[in-house]
Structure 1
Amino acid sequence: MKKILELREKRAKAWEAAKSFLDSKRGGDGLLSAEDTAAYEKMEQEVVDLGKEIERLERQAAIDAELNKPVSEPITNKPNNNPDGEEKKGRATDKYKKTFWNAMRRKNFYDVENALQVGTDSEGGYLVPDEFEHTLVEALEEENFFRSIATVIQTSSGDRKIPVVATKGTASWIDEEGAYPESDDSFGQVSIGAYKVATMLKVSDELLNDSVFDLEAYISKEFGRRIGAKEEEAFFTGDGKGKPTGIFNAAGGASDGVTTAAANITFDDVMDLFYAVKSPYRKKAVWVLNDTTVKALRKLKDNNGNYIWQPSVQVGQPDMILNRPYHTSAYVPEVAAGAKVMAFGDFSYYWIADRQGRSFKRLNELFAANGQVGFLASQRVDGKLILSEAVKTMAIKGSSSGA
């Protein structure tokens, strides 16, 4: 290797010398004399010869490296019944994934019994392979932005008890040798359970039997779209009865930070909502509202003529309202009398609890007369705002606000 490097340096110097000689010996007509031409060709040939020698040495080094390889590769994985030394376990194994999708495609696939024994067929549906479950979660995140700003936790069984500090103690000034005053924190609990959201789709026999059709991608995208949309609706407006408790729900949701004085939103209303959230929560706070509300806010100015809405001028930077980013959703209520139309705060205090394991079930006979096969998908999830002061909402003046 050292020899090759030396030759490369020598060739570079020889080429620079040849170019300098050529530039210095050209006459007024740009041509060389016969003597100078012979000298230049000799210098150029040296460069060519050095290049060939470098190529020979590099080929020799490659052959030596190949011959020095061991005749067999050492075993790096723990030997088992898989010659490739499969490392993934349980529902993550390639074998489980393959047999799972074979079971989804075929009506009578008896080989599935042993391969799927790790995914218990408790209520008629096998647990989704780990890789596909991850794909489904990604699809939910694409369809439902709320998961990106909330805190998502995993639960395995039963309710999840979340301790919350309800009130905090305070310090006091005391005289020398005076008694220390008692001031304890008070604690509460928020319980997060699991509600079931489900959907069904039908696929024709022709598509199932077509190897070109990507069943996995289709099901993950379609189930993700359906479940994600239903989740987002509940996270905003759910009443907590058979579904998560939404941010805008009167009971268990965020409290009103401001109620407008008129049937429309003013600059002062938005500013009041901004400062209704305590300073520590404003550091990571975002706005959540409907597209129609954003359209109304774009027309608002402060007393100096500055618009409240600021468009992004840099790639990757979001648009802003009062220098804080915002998200829009069709499930946030539009401006109407008595409606809660905006929320502002740190949404990481809204916790989403996913019950581990999403279940699929194939229906062979129900739609057989139509040449179709049904698929059921279900997920168990709950969501709650665990600290009400972290997020505040804006309510429009109306009968429900006491106006």
Structure 2
Amino acid sequence: MDIQIPTQTVMADTPNQSLSDSFDIVARQDKAEAAIATLRSDVDEVKARVDKIGMAAVRPAIGGASTAPSAEVKGFVDGYLRRGRESEVKSISATTPADGGYAVPREIDAMIASELKEISPIRGLAQVVQVGSAGYRKLITTGGTASGWVGEAAARPETDTPEFAEIAPPSGELYANPAASQSMLDDAAFDLEGWLASEIAMEFARAEGAAFVNGTGNDQPLGFLSSPTSLAGDAVRSFGSLQYIGSGDANGFDANPESRLIDLVHTMKAGHRQGASWVMNSATLSEVRKLKTTDGAFLWQPGLVEGQPDRLLGYPVVEAEDMPDVAGGTFPIAFGNFKAGYIIAERSATQVLRDPFTNKPFVHFYATKRVGGQVLDSSAIKLLKIEA
């Protein structure tokens, strides 16, 4: 049975329906285009933020604290160091030392300290403490028993009285005097704070590196090689004396050098051996690298990964050029846990005095810092002496 649909109804509804569908399609297209435009705008904004973060990440930071110099740094560098305007420094910090210098901002001081640790071998190994005054003292227990074992109901016997020794590292004024021409200072592209930190750190590292090894203790640190030495073991040796063993030959190493080095390692307590290092200069190191065991194997173990230190008998080797060469009666090799064995006490603020008059047309920057050092725990550092 056929169904008849009135022609006039179809003819009447079709144009309106088509028009409505067209409007819906256009509206949907407009919404889609608006959504796409919004999405593109969001993507562009996110991309701009990511690019900004990336640029900030690669921008060199002063002291690692901020990507832009602080007002204190700008006033110190652009005002005082470049142009000698003391008023800009005084407006930031009212502390002025008696000698007329100014304490460098913390950011620049942190740069100096970071470079010092990288290029000063003993500083990178030793314990470093910051002090606010010229002196530093520390009490150390050297003997006595303050504990014991008893039963639950047993009497508690009196323990021995602990014995103490006072550590007061000798200190002195460390100074550096780098110079720059006025044209260098007038150049805005010249990285003055980076240059100054690097120059001061290099001079400080050279001077303190020698003092931490061979310092006399008179207006300078007492070097660990200047401390008293003894063949006695830890149990009977006097406090502050470093133990040493002989090399077996009056002029160098004997026929069985590995046994001497192994003995040197095991004169140290097991607790101190964790974190211990060898210290020697490059001339001694060249001889040590040639040493072999009785079966022909080298004692030297080069680092297999970039950044990993070379090792001798499993312990890292640190080069300190201020250590003596191999010769009769010297101590060319030290083995120790310097974090426990040697202490460096320094006043945290570095002082800088601008001097444009002494050596015209150059401007000198006279930098000073008070640094002290001394053996802290003599059982944590052992020495090899060249003797029969």
Give the structure-1-normalised TM-score. 0.72
The structure-2 alpha-carbon separation of the partners of 1:340 and 1:113, relative to structure 1 and needing over 3 Å to count, comes to: closer
Task: Specify which of 106, 123, 130 is matched with residue 130 of structure 1.
Answer: 106
Structure 1 residues 141-176: Cα deviation after superposition (integer angstroms, max 9, x where no partner): 222132221111100014222111112428789999
Superposed displacement of residue 367, structure 1: 2.2
What is the number of residues matched between the two proteins?
A: 322
Mapped partners of 1:375, 1:318: distance in 2: 36
The within-5 A match list for 1:363-402 is 363-368=355-360, 371-397=361-387
Mapped partners of 2:363, 2:207: distance in 1: 24
Which residue of structure 2 aligns with residue 400 of structure 1?
none
Which residue of structure 2 aligns with residue 249 of structure 1?
226
Task: Specify which of 156, 159, 165 is matched with residue 135 of structure 2.
Answer: 159
Letter in 2 for 1:261: G
Determine helix, strand or coil for the equivalent of 1:304: coil
Determine helix, strand or coil for the equivalent of 1:333: coil
Letter in 2 for 1:159: G
Which residue of structure 2 aligns with residue 355 of structure 1?
347
The structure-2 alpha-carbon separation of the partners of 1:193 and 1:62, relative to structure 1 and needing over 3 Å to count, comes to: farther
Letter in 1 for 2:175: A
Mapped partners of 2:242, 2:202: distance in 1: 30
Contact 2:75/2:89, CA 8 A, preserved across alignment? no
Contact 1:193/1:353, CA 8 A, preserved across alignment? no
Structure 1 residues 246-294: Cα deviation after superposition (integer angstroms, max 9, x where no partner): 1211349761321122121222221111111111111111110111212
Which residue of structure 1 aligns with residue 267 of structure 2?
276
Mapped partners of 1:229, 1:331: distance in 2: 9
The structure-2 alpha-carbon separation of the partners of 1:211 and 1:188, relative to structure 1 and needing over 3 Å to count, comes to: same
Structure 1 residues 89-112: Cα deviation after superposition (integer angstroms, max 9, x where no partner): xxx9822222211211114x3642
Letter in 1 for 2:271: P
Superposed displacement of residue 378, structure 1: 0.6
The structure-2 alpha-carbon separation of the partners of 1:280 and 1:114, relative to structure 1 and needing over 3 Å to count, comes to: closer
Contact 1:95/1:115, CA 8 A, preserved across alignment? no
Contact 2:80/2:89, CA 8 A, preserved across alignment? no
Task: Specify which of 107, 110, 119 is matched with residue 143 of structure 1.
Answer: 119
The structure-2 alpha-carbon separation of the partners of 1:316 and 1:65, relative to structure 1 and needing over 3 Å to count, comes to: closer
Contact 1:254/1:392, CA 8 A, preserved across alignment? no
Which residue of structure 2 aligns with residue 21 of structure 1?
none
Cα root mean square deviation, aligned: 3.2
Runs of 4+ residues over 4 Å off in structure 1? 52-56, 61-66, 170-179
Contact 1:312/1:319, CA 8 A, preserved across alignment? yes
Task: Specify which of 305, 308, 325 is matched with residue 299 of structure 2.
Answer: 308
Mapped partners of 1:178, 1:114: distance in 2: 66
Letter in 1 for 2:352: F
The structure-2 alpha-carbon separation of the partners of 1:200 and 1:64, relative to structure 1 and needing over 3 Å to count, comes to: closer
The within-5 A match list for 1:128-277 is 128-169=104-145, 180=157, 182-192=159-169, 194-251=171-228, 255-262=242-249, 263-265=251-253, 266-277=257-268
The structure-2 alpha-carbon separation of the partners of 1:239 and 1:345, relative to structure 1 and needing over 3 Å to count, comes to: same
Mapped partners of 1:126, 1:157: distance in 2: 16
Task: Specify which of 75, 100, 107 is matched with residue 99 of structure 1.
Answer: 75
The structure-2 alpha-carbon separation of the partners of 1:62 and 1:224, relative to structure 1 and needing over 3 Å to count, comes to: same
Give the structure-2-normalised TM-score. 0.74
Mapped partners of 1:146, 1:172: distance in 2: 38
Structure 1 residues 357-385: Cα deviation after superposition (integer angstroms, max 9, x where no partner): 110001132223xx222220111111111
Letter in 1 for 2:123: R
Mapped partners of 1:99, 1:179: distance in 2: 65
Give the % identical residues. Answer: 27
The structure-2 alpha-carbon separation of the partners of 1:94 and 1:257, relative to structure 1 and needing over 3 Å to count, comes to: same
Superposed displacement of residue 179, structure 1: 7.5
Superposed displacement of residue 346, structure 1: 0.7
Superposed displacement of residue 324, structure 1: 0.7
Structure 1 residues 181-227: Cα deviation after superposition (integer angstroms, max 9, x where no partner): 63343221101353101121222222222223222222111111011
Determine helix, strand or coil for the equivalent of 2:332: strand
Contact 1:194/1:355, CA 8 A, preserved across alignment? no
Structure 1 residues 64-111: Cα deviation after superposition (integer angstroms, max 9, x where no partner): 999xxxxxxxxxxxxxxxxxxxxx9xxx9822222211211114x364
